[in-house]
Every structure is written in structure tokens, then in C-alpha cells.
Amino acid sequence: MSLKFEIVAKSALGGRRARLDLPHQVVETPVFMPVGTAGSVKAVAQDVLENLGTQIILGNTYHLYLRPGHEAIRRMGGLHRFISWPRAMLTDSGGFQVFSLSQLRKVTDEGVQFRSHLDGSSHCFTPEHSVDVQLALGADICMAFDECTEYPADRKRAEESLRLTMAWAKRSLEHFRTHRESVVWRDEFGGCTQSLFGIVQGGMYGDLRRECAGRLTEMKSDEMEFDGFAIGGLSVGEPRELTLEMIAEVLPLLPRDKPRYVMGVGYPDEIEQYAKLGVDMMDCVLPTRAARHGLLFTSEGRVNIKNKQYAEDQNPPDPNCKCMVCRRYTRAYLRHLMQAGEALSGTLNTIHNLAFYLGLMERVRGEIAAGAES
Amino acid sequence: MSLKFEIVAKSALGGRRARLDLPHQVVETPVFMPVGTAGSVKAVAQDVLENLGTQIILGNTYHLYLRPGHEAIRRMGGLHRFISWPRAMLTDSGGFQVFSLSQLRKVTDEGVQFRSHLDGSSHCFTPEHSVDVQLALGADICMAFDECTEYPADRKRAEESLRLTMAWAKRSLEHFRTHRESVVWRDEFGGCTQSLFGIVQGGMYGDLRRECAGRLTEMKSDEMEFDGFAIGGLSVGEPRELTLEMIAEVLPLLPRDKPRYVMGVGYPDEIEQYAKLGVDMMDCVLPTRAARHGLLFTSEGRVNIKNKQYAEDQNPPDPNCKCMVCRRYTRAYLRHLMQAGEALSGTLNTIHNLAFYLGLMERVRGEIAAGAES
């Protein structure tokens, strides 16, 4: 047993209010997952994340593989223990960072050869290796190794990318099935294992997306299927209408009884929209990265806290927010911290933005449940 | 009324366990004051400082004058309100930073002309202006404007520096007396005002130090005297024996019924030693600055958390420490955060070091009280 997914309520539009039961946490969905790149949701301590109601965070396989190394993390009891995060965790496959951060990539059917962006050292990720790294990290949910098609990509490129992703998905599933018992916390959690999600690619071609979804949902290794499905390769520069179009193409083809995850989105209005259409999980660096650059998301819209107009503004960042930052600090103080280059700036801005994102998803969960009842 | 100082117990060596009653906080002394340079104890949020038991923090007049500006802070209700720090606060005179950070200084009897290290703009600090800035900031304790004698300094230089410091002390006291009613929170605190401390200088010349102490303690403006006395110009590069010698020269000459503050010290063993000799207040950037560079102070000595030996060390930073960092995180994780350049590194390291310093002073307070009883 690895994952249970129980739908509590459905809305007319397709939104689902569900409970995703993972070894480390029962996650109430739809859920937004803060990104904890290299074993830290940047600038925020774990107890603060807990107080914010964070249910699940993301770890980046590429970063953790390079530093401190997945074998070291396994020896220390897995990523949960290493970073002292008792709740749920998901790791990506490393694919996206290999393509976006590393140098001198060489892609073959076997996998990807690349050089570390840290020290130029040479490495190779195959589907099997990505799964091995993720088994060592021990997140509750692992992702199949895929190739994220860039935007724009012509049809031939998208087809070729899809062919690789399908072959790699199958190999990821095979390798995961035969090695999943190895996760370090298995005994501690009554024999539970991790889960593996497949990733739908296909660029911005609806028919390729549908083909991919169809093949992935039917893919099996022995009796094992994917435990959930992600839609990847979105939010890579395409217009938002196209993002929505691709999601709308794929969602109806995904099994209703398994979680659906759209990777790397998005702005607050986007994640609300997608959740209400039936997306159960989303992640994005936007709230955390924007915070470090002074962009706050509030109930009154975006606030660029660097602006001079806030120099003596004694209102909280968001007058309708009850987070620990809005209860204690003023816009003027947050602006000053940013101007003065104080580390506390990134911390407080990030806490507010995460509170806003998590609060938004809590509201959406309530609305889906309420809409379903009426 | 500005300050009450009540000695609760005295030890044979001269140590005093006292209560320093300030408008915003009753401070248990001897006390260590974390430095909140530009309105933030770097990398640590105010609620965390409160949870650590921080009673009083320091603000740097030079930094806050340049950015965001003391008039802006006054308009926003003073520094306490601006940074949301309800407990006690002390501001330095700006003198030390003018001498150590700014460019193109020109010192005259009137004051110091300098250029901002931020943008090269031209400014002038006189004793009157330093006091005005500190009245606008509204810390519980202000410091007289002094010239901090560099080390080494020959006798002639030390004498000239002392002459300036004495003249400026008198002008600081006069100006403070006639303007102290202007502090923005006066009505809110039943007519309380800030306090002003004089600063003993004199380089490393015992007789100059004694002369300075004698003149400062007798200095009056109308009926007003200094509310406490600091020993400045130490920890500027001299050997530690000399620091101790200067403190030992001066302490017996300071009034027993007023608080004594040694500025800018020190290592854990130093602050313990000085506290036990009768120093009531100390401040230093050491625990916070060292933390950001990976140096942790522990009950087992100094730990350079960057060292490879900690790469898989699953012990807490200090096995005898009960701080929130030592209860939750391992040395391996703190090392990883530092290696990965994560902002959380500075935060967690600083929290531990402050817990260590504040815990040390709590123990010293207990020992002085216990020693006095026996």
C-alpha cells in the first residue's frame, strides 16, 4: 500500500474535494505544494511551514542528487528525516532541472548525459537512475523520468520528445515496481512504500497530449499502474489560454479515482481555476521566488513592496490576511527590509505569499465542497 | 522618570544581579543585547527573538538615520512600532559607524562631517544631531555622541580624542535634557522619557580612562546626570588582557547604583567574565555575524559547521542545548544549508548562537544570585 485517494465531494465543473492518504500525511486536496528546492523552502523554517498549514512540499531530485547526494540522504534516514519534515513530500524526476540548469546535455534513448551547474562534473540520468535517486530520497510521491518539451516546439520535435517520455515512463514504472520495497522508512510505516506518478507531455498539441494520457493510463508493469498522473511541460512560456486548453484536453482522459497534478503552475487565479476544473495538486516557485523579489500576492492584487509609495505605509501587507506577517508588520517595514538588503525580507515576504496561496486553496476546497452539496 | 535600577544580589567578585526598569521592558541583568543593526536582528524574526527570551536589542543610529531616516521613523511612531518590537531597545550614538563605515570623515570640535557608505551623500553628525536622531528613533536608552579611539593610538591622540569625547558628552547631556520630552511614545508611557548613558573612552591608557570616568560621573546639566555609563573603545583589536585591564580600571569608579555597559564584547567566556566582575549590559555582533559565517558557539566549544566532518553528523549542533534549532535539526542539515547557500542557514545558525548567548547570561544571573546568598 502506498496511496489512498478518496473523493469527498465533486462540483458541477469537475472540481474534486478529496483526501490523499500518504505515508507521512493525509493531504486535503486540491492542494498547493510549496517548493523546497534543495531541502529547504527558501528562507522559511520548517516549524513556520507547519504553522502555515503546509501539508506537502516538493524536493528537487537534481539539486539533492548533486548536493548533498542521495546516498548520503539515504544513510541519514531519507529526506524527511534529513530536513526534519514530518509531513508529506514529493520529488520531481530531475528531468526539468537537467534540461533547464545543466550544461552540455546529450539526450539518447538511454537517458541524459549532463554536466553539473555547480562544478561542471559529468553525470548521467536514466529513468532507472532517477527512480533510484528518488527511492533513496524517500519522498511519499516520486515522478517518472520525462523529457519536458520546450516551448515553442514544432510537431516533429514534440513527437520525438513524446516517444522518449513514453519509453522512459515504462522503464520508470518497471524499475520502481521492482525496487520500491527499498525505501528506508518502509518498516517504520507498516510496510508502506512510495507512490509513482506518470507525466503527460506532448507539447502544445492536443492530440499528442491525448495520446500520451491514453497510453500512460493504460501502462502497466506486472499488475502495477501509476498511482497518479501529472500534466507536465506547461507554464514554459506559452500563453495562458494554451495552458488551459492543454489541461482541458487531458483532464477528462485521466482516471477519476487517482490524483491529478499540474506541474509548475501558477498565479493565484490560475491555481484557483485549475483546482475548480478538477486538478488535485499543483506546485510552483512563483510565491516563494516572487517574494524574494518583493512581489506580494494579496486580496487586493499584487503589491510590489519595493515601491516608494509604501515607504511610510503603516498598513499590513494585506489588510484581509491573518498570517503572522500581516498581523505584526507594516508595508513600510517590509519595504525597508528589502531596501536595506536584510535577510528577514525574504523570510517575511515568503511567509505571507505562502499563507496567501495556502489560504486560497483552503477557500477553494470549501467552495468545491459547498458547491457539491447544493 | 526614565529608568530604575534595582540591585537584587551582589557577588563577592563584584557581580550584580539587578533589574533595569525601562519604559518598554523590565530587563533582568546582567544582560546580553543582540544587535539589530538596521531595524532587524539579521535573519531572525521578532517573534523568534521573543521566544528566545530576548529582553533588549540594539539599533544602529547611523544605519537608521541613512535608511529609512529618523524623521520617517518618528512619523511612524518610533523604532519600536516601526519594527514591531515591544520590548526594550538601545540606540548607539552613530559615532562608531561614522568612524568605521563612512568615507571622507572630517572631525572638528563641532562634530563629524562624512559621506554615506551607501550613496556618497554628505552628512554631519554633531552631539546635538546624534541626540536628535536618537530622540526620533525613541529607543529606551540613548548614548552620548563620542569619538571611539582607534587601536593602537599614541598618548597624544588618545588625549585629544578624550578631550573631544568629554566636550561632546556635555553637549549631548545638555541637548538631551532640554529635548527629552519630545519622544513620540511619552504620553503612552505615562510621561516616561528615554535615558542617556555617557561613554568612557581613553584608549588603552588607564589614567585617561580613570579621568574620563571621574569627569563623566560628575557631569551635570542642571540637575540631570547620565542615567548609566558605558565603557567604549574596547574590542577594537587590542589583546584581551588589555580589554580586561581597562574594564577593571574603570568599573570601581562608576556609581554602584547605575547600570554599567561594556560596548561591543565579546566571546562567550568574555561576557561571562565581565558580567561576574560587575558589568550589567553588553552587546556584540559576534554571535549573529559568526553564525552567518557558519561558526556556532556550543557547550562543547566552537563548531565550524562548514567542516566536512559534519557532512553526515546527525547530532544536534549542541547536544546540551534546548533551543528550537538543536531540538529539531542536525549538524548535517545545517552544514548542507550553508553549502547550498540557503537563506535558512543564516537564520538557524543565528537562532542557535543567540540562544547560547542568552542562555549563558541566564546561567550567570543565577550564579551571581546564588553566590550572593551563600
Q: Distance, in angstroms, between A132 CA and closest chain B CA?
A: 20
Strand order in the sheet with A25-29: A4-10, A16-22, A25-29
From A338, A337, A332, A340, select the one nearest A312 (Cα to Cα).
A332
What is the percentage of chain B residues whose pLDDT exceeds 70? 99
Please state the φ and ψ torsions of residue A87, each to the nearest 5 degrees: -90, -165
Rounded mean pLDDT of A59-64? 97
Tell me the shortest Cα–Cα distance from B261 to chain A, in angstroms.
27
Interface contact flag, A82 B348, Cβ < 8 Å: no
Mean pLDDT in residue range B204-223: 97
Contact A333 B47 (CB under 8 A): no
Q: Please determine, for residue B373, whether its predicted confidence score (pLDDT) is greater than 60.
A: no
Are A312 and B75 a contacting pair at CB < 8 A? yes
What pLDDT is recorded for position A1? 60
Whether the predicted pLDDT of B24 surpasses 90: yes
Chain A contact for B30, CB < 8 A?
no
Separation of alpha carbons A88 and A100, rounded Å: 26
Rounded CA separation B288/B264 (Å): 13
Average pLDDT over residues B330-354: 98
Residue A104 has pLDDT above 80, yes or no: no
Q: What is the mean pLDDT of residues A273-288?
A: 98
d(CA B60, CA A129): 53
Helix axes B155-179, B127-137, angle to 10 degrees: 50
* Strand pairing report for B112-115 and B122-125: antiparallel
Question: Average pLDDT for residues B330-336, to the nearest whole number?
Answer: 98
Task: Provide the CA A233 distance to its chain's centre, in angstroms.
Answer: 12
- Within 10 A of B319 (CB to CB), how many other CB atoms are there? 10
pLDDT confidence bin for A374, thresholds 50/70/90: very low
pLDDT-derived band at B70 (thresholds 50, 70, 90) equals very high
pLDDT at residue A82, as a whole number: 98
Query: Which of B108, B146, B148, B143 has the alpha carbon at shortest distance from B124?
Result: B108
Report the share of chain B in percent with pLDDT over 90.
95
Question: pLDDT band at B1, cuts 50/70/90?
Answer: low
What pLDDT is attached to residue A246? 98
Q: How confident is the model at residue A101 (pLDDT cuts 50, 70, 90)?
A: confident
Q: Mean pLDDT over residues A227-256, rounded?
A: 97
| Contact yes or no for B32/B9 (Cβ under 8 A) | no
Which chain A positions have a beta carbon within 8 Å of B311's beta carbon? Answer: 68, 72
Say if residue A155's pLDDT is above 60. yes
DSSP state of A310: G
* pLDDT-derived band at A65, boundaries 50, 70, 90: very high
Measure the CA–CA gap between A161 and B313, rounded to whole angstroms.
Answer: 42
Q: Residue A301: which H helix or E strand, with range? A: strand A301-304
Known active-site residue B92? yes
The mean pLDDT of A228-244, rounded to a whole number, is 97
Looking at the predicted structure, is the pLDDT value of residue B104 above 80?
Answer: no
- CA proximity to B281, closest of B46, B5, B97: B5
- B248-292: per-residue pLDDT in tens? 999 999 999 999 999 999 999 999 999 999 999 999 999 999 999
Select which of A21, A283, A313, A318 is catalytic. Answer: A283
Strand ranges in B79-133 using DSSP code E only, listed in sequence order? 88-91, 103-107, 112-115, 122-125
Q: How far is CA A203 from the centre of its chain?
A: 19
Q: Which three cell numbers stand for residue B130?
A: 546624534
Cell numbers representing residue B303 in the block = 563548531
- pLDDT per residue as tens digits for the range A176-216: 999 999 999 999 999 999 999 999 999 999 999 999 999 99
Chain A CB within 8 Å of residue B84 CB? yes
Residue A98 pLDDT > 90 = no
Percent of chain A with pLDDT over 70: 99
Residue A312: its chain B contacts at CB < 8 A?
Answer: 72, 75-76
Q: Please, how many CA atoms are within 13 Å of residue B215, restricted to the half-sphere of its CB?
A: 18
E strand map for chain B: 4-10, 16-22, 25-29, 31-33, 56-59, 88-91, 103-107, 112-115, 122-125, 141-143, 195-200, 228-231, 260-262, 281-283, 295-298, 301-304
Please tell me which residue of chain A has the smallest CA distance to B328: A84
Cβ–Cβ below 8 Å for A332 and B82: yes
Q: Cβ separation of A333 and B84 shorter than 8 Å?
A: yes
A contact test, residue of B66, B85, B333 with most A CBs within 10 A:
B333
Longest dimension (CA), chain B: 65
Do you know the residue count of chain A? Answer: 374
Lowest mean pLDDT among B1-10, B65-74, B325-334: B1-10
Which residue, among B269, B344, B266, has the nearest Cα to B299 in the 3D structure?
B269
DSSP states of A193-242:
--EEEEEE--TT-HHHHHHHHHHHHH--BTTB--SEEEE-S-SSS--HHH
Give the active site residue among B47, B92, B119, B154. Answer: B92
- Average confidence score pLDDT of chain A: 96
Residue B257 annotated to the active site: no
Query: Using CA atoms, how far apart are residues A44 and A358, in angstroms rounded to an integer?
Result: 15
**Cα torsion angle, B114, B117, B122, B126, sign:** negative
Q: Is the pLDDT of residue B194 over 80?
A: yes
Helix then strand then coil, in percent of chain B rounded to 5, is 45, 20, 35
C-alpha distance from B342 to closest chain A C-alpha (Å)? 7
